[in-house]
Structure 1
Amino acid sequence: MGRRSFLTRASVGGAAAAAGSVLAAPAIAQEAPTINWRLASSFPKSLDTIYGGAEELSTRLKEATDGKFSIQVFAAGEIVPGLDAINAATDGTVESAHSVGYYNWGKNPAFACGADLPFTFSARARTAYNYQGGGIEIYNEFLDQYSLVSFPGGNTGVQMGGWYRKEINSLADMQGLKMRISGLAGRVMEKLGVVPQQIAGGDIYPSLEKGTIDAAEWVGPYDDSKLGFQKVAPYYYYPGFWEGGPTVSFFFNKGKFGELPASYQSLLRSCCQAVDQNMLAKYDMKNPVALKELVASGAQLRSFSEEVLTGAFNAANEVYGELATENEWFKKQYEALLTYRDNWYLYAQTAEYTFDTFMMIQQRNGKLAPTAG
């Protein structure tokens, strides 16, 4: 065989081999269709941590699919008002939403069970219940009637008790208080004499400033600092007993979710779980610094009295008893929560609580501060 003939054959063979490797890509690509969805968020862009959860989901999906699965995120008000995001996913206005279930409690109180109920779980306990205790599955059983599929998409940890224009020392101070508070917690506070107002995040500051409301709860130090509440309502209370570990959720139109290939469905669940865990980590890093800054700028930190907490706890149990007799889906989910709650707080009193308490004592004694070196 001549040199020229050999090189020609080798070139053809090499090209064929290269073509074989190139041809494999379209075959894979055919199994990964191009999907373009829209997502309605319940949150304004200024709240980068909670709003950012939806953007993080979009980024993760794009990176994992080479851009083939794309979700375009719209802030509250860009397509629908923030409190209507879940409904927009139900009716197909958008394929997905990033919201909190209790925003829809007026449609059905059982929506709140997938987010948070007063005096139930911390974020860690909620995570265990969601992923290992059947919480996700039972919530999706309920959501089926609304053509929705949902997965956790964030958690803030225990929230603060909100901003008040006056001090709250007793239950008497709650009487007639006009307070922005979301979802089922408003019904609980009503029993304490509070007049609940459900107002979207972007409208809270002007309502406080004008005196339309006397108090407002939002999230915690990091997000609250962005909204400037300390300028118009200086008393900052804790804890937000109505949200010990609130789950922010992704809601997907069930028909659109069902059209996805199984690989995309699995990827979507995995990305949601990553966002769920990452949001809590972000808040845990940002809130301590933000709280120091709020106090330095004039916020007056206060704890709710035992009288207020006990009164609210009793009121919450009254509400749960009422709802359990009125709503089968609420009862089913609430009873599932209770099965785990007692065990959790029994265990939490041992190693976790003891360790944290000891370390808090060291912090108060100034033994945890970094030393200059």
Structure 2
Amino acid sequence: MTTPPTDATGNSRRAFLKTAGLGAAAAGATTLAAPAVHAQSTIRWRLQTYAGPALAEHVIKPSIDAFNKVAGDQMQIELYFADQLVPTGELFRAMQRGTIDAVQSDDDSIAAPVDVSVFGGYFPFATRYSLDVPVLFNEYGLREIWEEAYGEVEGVTWLSAGAWDPCHFATVNPIRSLDDLKGLRVFTFPTAGRFLSRFGVVPVTLPWEDVEVAVQTGELDGIAWSGITEDYTVGWADVTNYFLTNNISGAWCGSYFANSERWEELPDNLKTLFRLCMDSSHYYRQHWYWGGEAKLRVMGEKLELTTIPESEWQQVEDEAMKFWDEIAAESDRTARVVQILKDYREVMRKAGPPYRYG
């Protein structure tokens, strides 16, 4: 048995506590009935993701389940799906007000009031592969720029960015040339839609859960919101017939955000645990999407693959470079981001295979 620690007079601290307890009992027998540690209530957060239930099973739920298991009585996070508590476009304001405590989404979709929000989601041709996103944030300085931008906004803390799947068209009718894009009504992200409209695409905004029915009723001609993995996972492959192998971005860029006051209230161990779980989510998506995109192109039986010839698709990529320059002109900070993207693009090009081909 370990000897109880003693003070300078040789009296054990345990004996001191017993004596203190007797004194307290004389004053009021109920004061020591429940130690303070048990009086502390469990911290509870409400976190809403951009994803519907089937997709959330992969992109966030495993990491939140792990957090809750480890945090135990100290903290629990309640996970809500797309538009379940708040419409996606209102998530940022709801988080500022404290209606919800945290969000997983892209800056673009939640209408984050920062100039860099345009780079969230699918910024055209910013990435070729999913690994480009964490490299840009952690090795090329985007993390510091995002922290700077959100540091100017009251009430919301940006926490971490990661990569999701590439942006492809899944459509009812085949796309085999740029002409086939004209008049195409598609569900897509704000900035992606802004860019694709240059080729005659008509962006349509709907609640996520209404997309499948909108395709069935003819309100939508297709979807430019994901890669083939999500098309199969969420049921969109059941209502569309074709998948265009050309994409306008190699990876969606999404982030985690939290109400600043609630984030700062967390003890350091829970902040660390949450960061570890974000990293776990980022890692899971890297292999789930990368493997799924290839496997379903080869083995998937629901969608027929189509391709716009590379020489014709080059027009889209060239137009994207003009779009970049337009965005760079919006602010000093967007100019810095665009320059980083250009520098990165050049490094990857010079590095050659497997970083870039052609």
- With normalisation by structure 1, the TM-score equals 0.77
Of the three residues 326, 350, 354, the one matched with 2:353 is 350
Confirm or deny: 8 A CA contact 1:154 1:278 kept in the other structure: no
Query: Within 5 A, what are the aligned runs for 1:149-160?
Result: 149-152=157-160, 154-159=162-167
How do 1:65-144 and structure 2 match up within 5 A?
65-104=71-110, 110-121=116-127, 122-144=129-151
Given candidates 238, 243, 266, the residue that maps to 2:272 is 266
1:290, 1:308 → 2: CA distance? 25
Give distance in 2, aligned partners of 1:324 and 1:339. Answer: 14
Query: Equivalents in 2 of 1:178, 1:145: separation in Å?
Result: 36
The alignment covers a number of residue pairs equal to 332
Residue pair 1:88, 1:97 contacting (<8 A) in 2 also? no
CA contact (8 A) 1:92 1:253 kept: yes
Q: Is the 8 A contact 2:157 2:257 kept in 1?
A: yes
Aligned counterparts of 1:178 and 1:11: Cα–Cα separation in 2: 74
Go from structure 1 to structure 2 and tell me whether the alpha carbon gap of 1:69 and 1:107 turns closer, same or farther (over 3 Å shift). Answer: same
Shift of residue 203 of structure 1?
A: 1.7
User: What CA distance in whole angstroms lies between the structure 2 residues aligned with 1:274 and 1:331?
Assistant: 31
Secondary structure of 1:251 counterpart:
strand
More deviation, 181-190/146-155: 146-155
Map Cα deviations across residues 81-120 of structure 1 (whole Å, 9 max, x no partner). Answer: 2343333223321110111222145855521324441111
- Do the aligned residues in 1 keep the contact of 2:176 with 2:307 (CA within 8 Å)? no
| 1:303 has 2:307 as partner | yes
Which of the numbers 321, 325, 336 marks the counterpart of 1:321?
325
Contact 1:61–1:268 (Cα < 8 Å) also in 2: yes
More helix by share: 1
Cα deviations by residue, 1:214-235 (Å, 9 ceiling, x for unpaired): 2212322232113433444312
Per the normalisation by structure 2, the TM-score is 0.80
Correspondence list, 1:188-199, <5 A = 188-199=195-206
1:337 maps to amino acid: L
Q: Give the AA of the match of 2:263.
A: F
Q: Identity of counterpart residues, as a percentage?
A: 19
Residues in 2 aligned to 1:237 and 1:46: alpha-carbon distance in whole angstroms: 23
1:62 corresponds to 2:62? no
Task: Kindly provide the amino acid, as one letter, of the partner of residue 129 in structure 1.
Answer: L
Work out whether residues 62 and 68 of structure 1, in 8 Å CA contact, stay in contact via their aligned partners in 2. Answer: no
Does the 8 Å contact 2:187/2:211 carry over to 1?
A: yes
**Aligned mates of 1:136, 1:28 — CA distance in 2:** 40
Which letter does structure 1 place at the counterpart of 2:204?
Answer: Q
- Give the corresponding residue for 1:6: none
4+ runs deviating over 6 angstroms: 10-13, 26-30
CA distance in 2, matches of 1:199, 1:345: 37
What is the Cα deviation at residue 63 of structure 1?
Answer: 3.5
Contact 2:348 2:356 in 1 (8 A): no
CA deviations 1:347-371 (Å, max 9, x no partner) are: 2x235568xx9xxxxxxxxxxxxxx
1:338 aligns with 2:342: yes
What's 1:217 paired with? 224
